[in-house]
Amino acid sequence: MLSINPEGELRMSANPHANGGLLTVDLDLPDFRDYAAPVKAPGRDRLESTRKLGEFMRDTYERNPDRFRLFCPDETKSNRLGAGFEASDRAFAERATEEDVAISRDGRVMEVLSEHACHGWLEGYTLTGRHGWFATYEAFAMVSASQTVQHAKWLQEAHDLAWRAPVPSLNILLTSTAWRQDHNGFSHQGPGLIQNVITHRGTISGVYLPPDANTLLPVADHCMRSRSRVNLAQPGVPVPPGDRRAERHAADPGRGERAEGVV
């Protein structure tokens, strides 16, 4: 019986994928400044915050064919991230027909109407050393909130284990936020996930509230470069009257969200 036992990395506990930080390769990210929208004057132009992020993700897909994916519960296009389909189809294991749009077996956009599945997929993807985003409507992020909390706890405990290598962060993009629900109403209002994330240590979690497209870009860049964190990005948050941070970011998005305190 002993002769059939696996040895070395074939043992379950020694499999390098069980310590995914050892396998992690940094993302080859494009310069987010190249996607910034020109701003001639504050408050004059209208632009959906996540559309520019979609272009940034599209090129991230192209530059990282083996280590980046978006996980989204059937809302990639409505979240204005559809530019990603210019680089990759949706993943689909069954037979595709001529009527299907952007669907193939080698697609890398993970879409299924289950927040639990998408969140769990991303957890497994990052824990084995790859990078990604989980994008969902704000109100429905609470469906998988317990998974977010448990993953944060795991990262906190792993932080104290010297042998466990840091893994890519769990990045969550919240869209369709509470104050933009005049058309869907009360059913789509639920800003609860922030309350869960901010209760964790600052070394493990971060909440980012970029008010527009140009501030979302450096936030996304920062999140995708970070390790062993739960990053929650919620774009489109109204800026208090007189707050000039968004204007300064729009003029020079390279200043970075850390210096300006968009956290």
CA-CA distance, 13 to 173, in Å (whole number)?
32
| pTM for this entry | 0.88
Alpha-carbon torsion angle 19, 53, 69, 220, nearest 10? 0
CA-CA distance, 72 to 232, in Å (whole number)?
15
Concatenating the DSSP letter of every residue in 82-132 gives: GGGGGT--EE--S---TT-SSEETT--EEE-S-HHHHHHHHHHHHHTT-EE
Residue of 238, 119, 242 whose CA lies nearest to 178 = 238
In 10 A of CB 244, how many CB atoms? Answer: 10
Give the domains, in start order, of the chain with CATH numbers.
49-260 (3.40.50.970)
* pLDDT tens digit at each of 263 positions of the chain: 888 999 999 998 889 999 999 999 999 999 999 999 998 887 788 888 899 999 999 999 999 999 999 999 988 998 899 999 999 999 999 998 889 999 999 999 999 999 999 999 999 999 999 999 999 998 899 999 999 999 999 999 999 999 999 999 999 999 877 666 556 666 777 778 998 999 998 899 999 999 889 999 999 999 999 999 999 999 977 666 555 555 555 445 444 444 333 44
